[in-house]
A = this chain, B = another copy of it.
């Protein structure tokens, strides 16, 4: 597949869905040229949404974070997170009891503000699980892995309740070379110990795409073929975009490196419509 310039492709669409990490920003800060590209799209009245597998922060906190990095003009309403999907699920399906969680207090306050009480794994008494009505994996921080992961296994061995993974990403990059195990990776460990599958939220599943698509169509009329999904990861952004019926472009500024892109596309069979170095004009 030939590499192309991002803007040559993007300006053919009425809306562009961006992944966040590896596309708009990375471990060093903003991706070079991100502001110019956003401005260019705004000038042409191309709608923008950011779809991010993240459950640690609210839309407002995400928008603030972009602003602090120097990327202005992203409105909280233009951000769609996997945490929002988990939040909606919990609001609709869990009507009583306490929601147990693994993650930071900040993520718990944001996601679990649904009228129900929440309780951190560390504060749970294994002998008194009666009030616990659901369990949520929220973040990879905010707890002691040595103690609380095994404790989670035991809670879920003792009581059958809905278990939600608010961010299905297994790792996230922390530097050019290195990664850290993410919420989805920890949830997968617990799934394997229990031999169960939890309810995962986040790309590649369709929910965030539907949400963004429906919300966008409340202000403008945009068909799926009018939307370009931009991502740096084949098995989340590109697979999810393809399956939802969007055109997809792989950027080489994040998880997928130029030298291994062709091999990965071949070995996974997940095929973007376009490839470009980054979103820089």
Contacts and interface: CB of A to CB of B under 8 A. Distances in A.
A197 B160 contact: no
Interface string A82-126: 000000110011000000000000000000000000000000001
A194 B247 CA distance: 25
Count of identical protomers in the assembly? 4
Given A93-B245, A239-B199, A157 B145 contact: no
Interface in A111-158: 126, 144-146, 149-150, 153-154, 156-158
Interface string A149-182: 1100110111011110000001100000111110
Nearest to A194: B269
A39 to B, nearest CB: 30
Interface stretch (A26-34, A43-51, A64-72, A184-192): A184-192
Contacts of A188: 189, 192
A154 B239 CA distance: 23
A206 interface: yes
A189 B189 CA distance: 6
Contact of A150 (B160, B180, B192, B206): B180
Given A89-B245, A243-B89, A150 B170 contact: no
Interface string A188-215: 1100111111110000011100100000
Interface in A237-269: 239, 242-245, 247, 263, 265-269
B149 A178 contact: no
A225 interface: yes
Nearest to A180: B150
A42 interface: no
A242 B180 contact: no
Nearest to A271: B162
A256 B126 CA distance: 21
Question: Looking at chain A, what size class is its interface with the partner chain?
Answer: 35 or more
B206 A179 contact: no
Nearest to A91: B245
A120 to B, nearest CB: 15
A244 to B, nearest CB: 8
A40 interface: no
A5 interface: no
Contacts of A267: 195-196
Given A93-B245, A206-B210, A225-B92, A157 B179 contact: yes
A169 to B, nearest CB: 11
Closest 9 CB pairs of A and B: A145-B145, A206-B206, A196-B269, A154-B178, A92-B245, A189-B189, A145-B146, A150-B180, A150-B181
